Amino acid sequence: MARPLRNMPGFYLLTRFLNSSSPSFLAYRRWLQTIAYEEVQVSTERPYNSTAFVIHGLLGSGRNWRSFSRNLAARLSNSSPSSDWRIVLVDQRNHGSSADLESLYPPHDIVNAAQDMANLVRSQGWDWPDVVMGHSLGGKVALRFAESCARGDYGESAALPKQEQLLVLDSVPGKVNPENSDGEVEKVLETLQNLPSSIPSRKWLVNHMMELGFSKSLADWIGSNLKKSGEHETWAFNLEGAVEMFDSYREMDYWSLLENPPQGMEITIVRAEKSDRWDPDVIQRLETLAARQRNASQGTVSVHLLPNSGHWVHVDNPKGLLDIVAPKLASLG
């Protein structure tokens, strides 16, 4: 077996899995010709009975959500000991351990990113997930995945569970206003595109981004996506492919899904208080949909405001996000 690498107190990262002896958390990583993923569970002594997929945002990876997912799994276990959740953290195409998979053919867009999710489920012989949660770019992928399941695009076996929860974290459901081309995400992409492909060090990158006006927390997060390449660092994502995915994110529109959510599904939109993603008319449209009375043949829409957070919700206010997400999942237990 490969030599274990210390990841954080109580957790061990190995070439095939991440295992802790206390408090019995478990996370597996496998490299597939579908997308790569990790599994997080509080304990493996009992089989899981519910599954949540977490889809990271632009330039991220599943590992960015490890800490949050561990805390989420622990809270769910404490609130309902009989509820055993498995949380699957995927690496989207062009990101993380999926970045170099040659079988993930273009176009690199929201449609194919959602198809990657379906391919993963089928390749592993899993049941379809009870909960899908996506942040930013991943939010649009989650919306597409749910819409495609409901339409039967992935086959009859992809019928959504009766109490499906879809959580969309700071992701505008419709087309992004072309005038909003100078937001924080766009500035990050422009900055990265102007950097050399080989970065001297993570410390250099963090300092450089802070000098350009980015917050330390955001600069640290971007720096976490570097990997060693000889004497220098390089990106753990395919920047060109990621930009193509972001362009698709800006163009795709899923308002129709929010207007008519499938029966039994709750679509939860979490809007970060300090995010620059949201136009007033979009906020008003969401609030109207959330207040709408629906009949039994339709799902529901809810809207939550995450205080003290910019767009990078898992960095800015992870505890506040946990307070919103955990009760949603607990309600399914």
The strands making up 300-306's β-sheet, listed across from edge to edge, are 5-8, 11-13, 17-19, 26-30, 37-41, 85-90, 50-55, 131-135, 165-169, 266-272, 300-306
Integer-rounded Cα Rg, in Å, for the chain is 19
Write the pLDDT tens digit of every residue in 234-292: 898 999 999 999 999 999 999 999 999 988 899 999 999 999 889 999 999 999 999 99
Residue in the structure block whose two tokens are 């206390």: 22
Whether the pLDDT of residue 115 is over 80: the answer is yes
Q: Give the pLDDT confidence of 208-247 residue by residue, as tens digits.
A: 999 999 989 889 988 988 888 888 888 989 999 999 999 9
What distance lies between CA 244 and its chain's CA centroid?
A: 18
Q: How far, in Å, CA of 111 to CA of 204, rounded?
A: 36
pLDDT for the residue numbered 5: 31
Neighbours of 206 (CB within 10 A): 20
Dihedrals phi, psi of 180, to nearest 5 degrees: -90, 60
Give the angle subtended at the CA of 237 by the CAs of 242 and 67, to the nearest 5°: 110
Whole-angstrom distance, CA of residue 256 vs CA of residue 249: 16
Q: Which pLDDT value is given to residue 10?
A: 31
pLDDT at 12: 26
